[in-house]
Structure 1
């Protein structure tokens, strides 16, 4: 999405930055790991394909992506002031990158069933579903509560910027008005006990049985309840790139 192109989210436990070309080499190295490919249901891509993916994800109106980095540490960096920009290159250097988190938007599948049961109304809003996907690629950061903290921060951002997210989605789909967010879901391999525990601890509940691909579907219908408690140190900051950095990303 373009919405978060110039936004970073800072908390006491993590920094989220928009996925840029400068991050692709590290991301590609993560995705060379067969275990990560299996966990994320991803196919191996060439480096050139990974660069193409980064560009398409930035332009996509139904995919919101952040790279997860280690938290800011200096007093000036972690001040929480929205007037203090995050300058790309140091806080999100390869050695500080940890993983990524995404929101995928889909049409709400039950819309047609509801339309059959109710008289059509041009004023009735359409709905969509958001799928949350998180990857902690750096093993030394797993099992320490980081995943839960990142999901909380990410959904806090989604909640605060839901109007803009839905407007961008609607404009791309030529919808007359932005849709509502019906629910959030996460599809997790039944053998990934840590991820299942993570999302269930945040209020996601299992819906249905394990599917053909061995995935469990967890859903959350009350985003407002989850984001009522703001993560420690939460701040949305400007993600700043200088001209030289922008030129390098185009190479």
Structure 2
């Protein structure tokens, strides 16, 4: 219960994660066309409570998300075992445009950071530096053929394990982004899910999230994880952090 900090402080800018079920790669410009095509689907717009954007706006969003340290976005791709010649060992290299080619992309997973505010928190005082922050997690499996197979749970588990390993770095970069004198501590994680999305609700509940409050005005439930020690409870099968090799002549984002 309570807050959780980890002693490691590596860079979190561009570290792909490989597991037995998926590869997570940082959201780059090369991914925008496929992501934009996903988000034109009305069913995905409804499920994610998103408004349709132009392709130009989608590129602008990608640049903004990569530059801001209150967001951490990964593209979910098929596992390296599904790519001929793929490397999956710790410290191995994945070449951008290979394992994360459009036909290998299946969805995305995100962390959004906000100041923690309640009646007794310092963040409720105007101008005060927040002592804690909250992380909102969401997952989208856009490719229908990969739904209903437990992939979403495996991805969120791997993503949260990554957050655990890099929490100091994530908080430090967040503080620098917001011009804070010191990094806040992560108070809790939450997920906001449409009340009709029983699959996603069950996914987060199996990971230890619990419903807090009632359905809101937008028809969403809030699920909360306060026992952040659960993030380190189990190493995802095949977990490895790799090096992401980019061809900067094609993709200048880092």
Taking structure 1 as the reference length, the TM-score comes to 0.90
Q: Which of residues 106, 111, 123 is equivalent to 1:103?
A: 111
SS in 2 for 1:98: strand
Number of matched pairs: 239
Q: Give 2:3's aligned residue.
A: none
Q: Which of residues 145, 155, 158 is equivalent to 1:153?
A: 158
Are the equivalent residues in 1 in contact too, given 2:164–2:231 (CA < 8 A)?
Answer: no
Are the equivalent residues in 2 in contact too, given 1:10–1:78 (CA < 8 A)?
Answer: no
Are the equivalent residues in 2 in contact too, given 1:185–1:219 (CA < 8 A)?
Answer: yes
Q: Which of residues 103, 108, 113 is equivalent to 2:120?
A: 113
Equivalent runs, 1:1-251 vs 2, <5 Å = 3-73=11-81, 77-82=86-91, 84-110=92-118, 113-115=120-122, 126-246=131-251
Q: 1:125 to 1:244 in 2, by over 3 A?
A: closer
Are the equivalent residues in 1 in contact too, given 2:27–2:73 (CA < 8 A)?
Answer: yes
In the TM superposition, what whole-angstrom CA distance separates every residue of 1:67-97 from its partner, at most 9, and x where no partner exists? 0000001686343221x21110010000000
1:226 deviates by 3.4
Are the equivalent residues in 1 in contact too, given 2:25–2:76 (CA < 8 A)?
Answer: yes
Structure 1 residue ranges without an equivalent (≥5):
117-121
Q: 1:79 to 1:136 in 2, by over 3 A?
A: closer
237-246 or 172-181, which deviates more: 237-246
In the TM superposition, what whole-angstrom CA distance separates every residue of 1:26-69 from its partner, at most 9, and x where no partner exists? 00000000010011010000001101000000001100000000
Are the equivalent residues in 2 in contact too, given 1:125–1:177 (CA < 8 A)?
Answer: no
Structure 2 residue ranges without an equivalent (≥5):
1-10
Following the alignment from structure 2 to structure 1, what is the Cα–Cα distance between the partners of residues 165 and 183?
A: 16
SS in 2 for 1:132: strand
Please identify runs of 4+ aligned residues in structure 1 that moved more than 4 A.
none
Q: Give 2:8's aligned residue.
A: none
1:177 deviates by 1.0
Following the alignment from structure 1 to structure 2, what is the Cα–Cα distance between the partners of residues 224 and 85?
A: 30
SS in 2 for 1:68: strand
Q: Give 1:119's aligned residue.
A: none
Following the alignment from structure 2 to structure 1, what is the Cα–Cα distance between the partners of residues 140 and 162?
A: 18
State the superposition RMSD in angstroms: 2.0
